[in-house]
Structure 1
Amino acid sequence: MQERPPFKTLFAVPLHCEGCIKSVKSALSHVEGILNVDCHLEKQLVEVEGTAAPSKISASIQDTGKDCILRGSGNANSAAVCILETHAHNIENPVRGLARLVQVGPDFTIVDISLKGLASGTYQATIRQNGDISRGAASTGGVWEEDTRGSGARGKLGQIEVGTEGSGGIILDVGIAIWELIGRSMVLSSSTELSQQDDEATLVGVIARSAGVWENDKVVCSCSGKTVWEERVEQTGKGML
């Protein structure tokens, strides 16, 4: 795999003064791979350039005591997102993970997966042939490209270790372009077999396009009329990371 090229990531962060900016920049100065940080006080936005994964950046910003919301990554048509949910019955908050995908070069994409609320153990991450998650992993088809490439299928992303606290994550560099993934599904499972929808240890989600840097800097949603921070509270209550 080629060396990861730098890319830009944009976060909404509640910045109130130059002291806030200094605090954020100081925290990010300790994150490996960050080349430049621009804070926009009036727009309440932080623009980061480098090779660090979005989850690493957001965690460092949150360590300052400030919340942050990812607003975009990479260039236009180069980013995607996948909300990973369990299809087990009678689960109040089914969301258990989030995958952020950013294409940073020709056929070169970063897959940044974060998980929570799972039983400890090893989970297999795969891209499936289609985006039908109506019956959980059982309706997503086989692993993408496994029928033609076997063990070399690009749909086999790798393993994620979940600790005793129920959380885990992994950052992968894969030889895939974003356009190849939109509309397919991602599955994480503790089993190598196709799981049924009532398997609590299996997560599924559809990969959808997301905004690039500066493609979505709105503060108020035109659909709900809520600010991004009001939506953040609402979505966090539903289990979103």
Structure 2
Amino acid sequence: MFTKIEFAVQMTCESCVKAVKESLFNVPGISNVDINLENNSVVVDTTLTTDQVLKHLQSSGKKAVVKGIEGILAGVAVLDISKEIQGVVRFAQISSNTCIVDGTVDGLKPGKYGLYIHESGDISQGCNSVGDCFNPKNYDCSSSSNRAYSDLGIITAEANGRSSFRFQDNVINLSDVIGRSLVVTEHSKGPDCIGNRVTCGIIARSSSLFQNPKTICACDGISIWDERNQPKSSL
């Protein structure tokens, strides 16, 4: 499914616009590109992950950051409990029964991992204080191929330690999970949620498309071009 993603791209002239256009031209998974030089804005209709689109934009030689994803409601979980494993996972509720989950996690050992929503947003003791997997009492798993509500599925880390993913979830509703936690676990073939928790983060509400006018961070005065830090490559 195509969704609109808005990026802030550092452009100063028409040659910058041309370079950005060329970086996205004829890329499979991108159907439309709207570039606004005055607002340093690039809006892309895509089925690709934000990380994939960012790589194409950055190939133009311009700095770029994600500003928002089209949807009824948007959320983001920053996974930074571990110094070694860090990432960003974005959520966009695009209809009453469809949520797009788009993320990049760095620093993992190659292999498969589970992605789960847990009950609590309490990360005062890291991933040990986020409670059990979140499964609403009124949720009937038999109507969804026996899937637990909290179970978002399996992600795979490549040889470089990065897992980049984008999928459509037709079970969760973002409004029910804002304030809870997203947990990455070692993959287990047993019951859900029993794998060791390797990283986690609170699912917070974030900007939807065209709702984020920020260019300077109010807390420290740093511009969006300078506040990007690796490995949080999707920030």
| Fold shared by both chains (TM-score > 0.5) | yes
2:191 — aligned with what? none
Identity of counterpart residues, as a percentage? 32
Structure 2 residue corresponding to 1:163, chosen from 143, 148, 158: 158
Specify every segment of 5 or more residues in structure 2 that has no aligned partner in the other structure, as ranges.
189-193
On the 8 A contact 2:49/2:164 being kept in 1, the answer is no
On the 8 A contact 2:76/2:204 being kept in 1, the answer is yes
Give secondary structure in 2 for the equivalent of 1:27: helix
1:208 — aligned with what? 204
Deviates more, 1:129-138 or 1:95-104: 129-138
User: Once the 2 structures are TM-superposed, how far is the Cα of residue 203 of structure 1 from its aligned partner?
Assistant: 0.7
Structure 2 residue corresponding to 1:101, chosen from 91, 97, 107: 91
2:186 — aligned with what? 190
1:139 — aligned with what? 129
Give secondary structure in 1 for the equivalent of 2:226: helix
User: Once the 2 structures are TM-superposed, how far is the Cα of residue 218 of structure 1 from its aligned partner?
Assistant: 2.4
CA RMSD of aligned residues (A): 2.3
Specify every segment of 5 or more residues in structure 1 that has no aligned partner in the other structure, as ranges.
88-92
Using the size of structure 2 for normalisation, the TM-score is 0.84
Distance change >3 Å, CA 135–CA 191, structure 1 → 2: farther
Query: Residues of 2 paired with 1:95 and 1:65: CA distance?
Result: 27
Deviates more, 1:171-180 or 1:149-158: 149-158
On the 8 A contact 1:31/1:56 being kept in 2, the answer is no
Give secondary structure in 2 for the equivalent of 1:228: coil
Query: Residues of 2 paired with 1:179 and 1:122: CA distance?
Result: 28
1:90 — aligned with what? none
Query: Residues of 2 paired with 1:167 and 1:51: CA distance?
Result: 19
Amino acid at match of 1:240: K
Using the size of structure 1 for normalisation, the TM-score is 0.82
User: Once the 2 structures are TM-superposed, how far is the Cα of residue 55 of structure 1 from its aligned partner?
Assistant: 2.5
Query: Residues of 2 paired with 1:71 and 1:50: CA distance?
Result: 15
CA shift digits 1:97-116 (9 cap, x unpaired): 11011122222111112111
Give secondary structure in 2 for the equivalent of 1:99: strand
Give secondary structure in 2 for the equivalent of 1:126: strand
2:103 — aligned with what? 113
On the 8 A contact 2:115/2:154 being kept in 1, the answer is yes
1:240 — aligned with what? 232
User: Once the 2 structures are TM-superposed, how far is the Cα of residue 188 of structure 1 from its aligned partner?
Assistant: 0.5
Instruction: Give aligned pairs, total.
Output: 222
CA shift digits 1:131-170 (9 cap, x unpaired): 1222233322222228763841121111111122111222
Query: Residues of 1 paired with 2:26 and 2:111: CA distance?
Result: 30
Distance change >3 Å, CA 119–CA 86, structure 1 → 2: farther
Higher helix share: 1
Query: Residues of 1 paired with 2:85 and 2:180: CA distance?
Result: 18
1:40 corresponds to 2:30: no
Query: Residues of 1 paired with 2:47 and 2:107: CA distance?
Result: 28
On the 8 A contact 1:146/1:153 being kept in 2, the answer is no
Query: Residues of 2 paired with 1:103 and 1:186: CA distance?
Result: 16
On the 8 A contact 2:68/2:207 being kept in 1, the answer is yes
1:124 — aligned with what? 114
